[in-house]
Amino acid sequence: EVQLVESGGGLVKPGGSLRLSCAASRFTFSSYSMNWVRQAPGRGLEWVSSISGTSGFVYYADSVKGRFTISRDNANNSLSLQMNSLRAEDTAVYYCARGEDPYFFDYWGQGTLVTVSS
């Protein structure tokens, strides 16, 4: 069964930075696009970013464009999200999700909590 395990969450001050990671296993990582989806406390799901299998295509939600950078290391089966200039409204559980054609998420990690607060 596909496994996705997020890490790197924690408490950070507004304006600070944090790097999330997602370790993938039990599938051919490079063959799939990968995504970050977040959920603020008590709120709905929000798509954050996607990256194609070869990193040739990356996409971001307007809410994070210019502040967050998605990347992947296919040799090590890992996905990352570098988050800079963090704001209180970035506080959320961040999920790593595998992308499948056409344009949906088929497997999800358990999430990692990011809290932005002074």
Residues engaged in binding other proteins (CB under 8 A): 35, 37, 44-47, 50, 57-59, 61, 95, 97, 100, 102-111
CB of 87 to other proteins, least distance (A): 19
CB of 104 to other proteins, least distance (A): 4
For residue 21, the SS3 value is strand
Element (H, E) at 20: strand 18-25
CB of 107 to other proteins, least distance (A): 8
Nearest CA among 82, 66, 67 for reference residue 22: 82
Give 56 or 75: the residue with its C-beta nearer to other proteins: 56
Give 23 or 58: the residue with its C-beta nearer to other proteins: 58
Residue 18 · residue 81 · CB < 8 Å: no
Residue 84 · residue 107 · CB < 8 Å: no
Give 45 or 82: the residue with its C-beta nearer to other proteins: 45
CB of 118 to other proteins, least distance (A): 27
Q: How many CA atoms lie within 13 A of 14 on its CB side?
A: 5
